[in-house]
Amino acid sequence: MKHIKKLLLGLVAVNSLVLGLFSLSYVAHAQSVTRGYSSDMLLQKGMIVKLKDDDPNKVEPVKKEQEEKIHGVVINPTDSAVLLGEEDQKVFVASTGPFSVLVSSQNGPIKAGDYVTLSSISGIGMAASDLDKVVIGKAMENFDTNDITKVRSSATIKDSAGNTTEVKIGTIRVDISVGRNPSQRANASLPVVLKGVSETIAGKPVTPARVYVSFFVFVTTSIISGAMLYSAVRSTMVAMGRNPLGKKAIIRSLLQVASVAVLIFIVGLFAVYLLLKL
């Protein structure tokens, strides 16, 4: 009996120790640890930053092409449970946890549950698409440009085609967890030529599905237009050989068919533009 009691007491002690360690681990994980940094510029709360290349003790806003260097988001020191840093470090950055993040409407409205990535505006986020490689985290609330309580300012951006667009900027809560985009779609099968042409027309990355549908529409309308022109020219030559006196009427008929063929081709091009642009 004594041995059984000792064994039971030992099991209870071990279980208590394991539960205690698990609880401490859970609490430590739940708490947001924030580290202090310096900066050569004024950084707003909610701005997405990276470590400066020549000084890891300083941070600066991240550009879109540097998205894989995202370090975290600037926050108020009072927003975090644990702070790490020295007295002269005035910028506090959180790399995990729920915090306010500056976002834009560049990729449309953001809904709660959407992944957030970097926009073309340095340090500002946007809704992630399946073409973005890195995400900052998951939105905890909506960002609607019609909600004046969410919008703080606006900015004008320029796409690769030189077209300008005004976007709204505001702040929403994001569960920060920097990493690879779980919804990223592999587009390695998309030919470089199609990718380049589609992005030039749209002024932004385009999903492979839209590119292939646009290519199909373009090829189909080109074949139809080409077949109509070829058939019309061939018929015209045969008709003029058989009936030289009806030359004017034959040419008029050719021009009518050619006009329809050109119109079909133009409609096809317009459809391709809409598919890629919208």
Delimit the domains of the chain by residue range.
32-180, 192-277
3-state secondary structure of 201: helix
Q: Identify the architecture of domain 32-180 in CATH.
A: Beta Barrel (2.40)
Per-residue pLDDT tens listing for the chain (278 residues): 444 444 334 434 434 443 343 333 333 343 456 788 888 888 999 999 999 999 988 999 999 989 889 999 999 876 654 444 454 558 889 988 999 999 999 988 999 999 999 999 999 999 998 888 899 999 999 998 888 888 888 888 876 667 788 899 999 999 999 988 877 765 545 787 888 888 788 776 777 888 889 999 999 999 999 999 999 999 998 888 888 888 888 899 999 999 999 999 999 999 999 988 87
3-state secondary structure of 32: coil
Residue pointed to by tokens 């071990």: 14
- CA–CA separation, 51 vs 68, rounded Å? 11
- CA–CA separation, 186 vs 2, rounded Å? 64
This prediction has a pTM of 0.57
User: What amino acid is encoded at 85 in this protein?
Assistant: G
DSSP annotation of 186 reads P
**CB contact set of 247 (below 8 Å; sequence gap of 6+):** 240
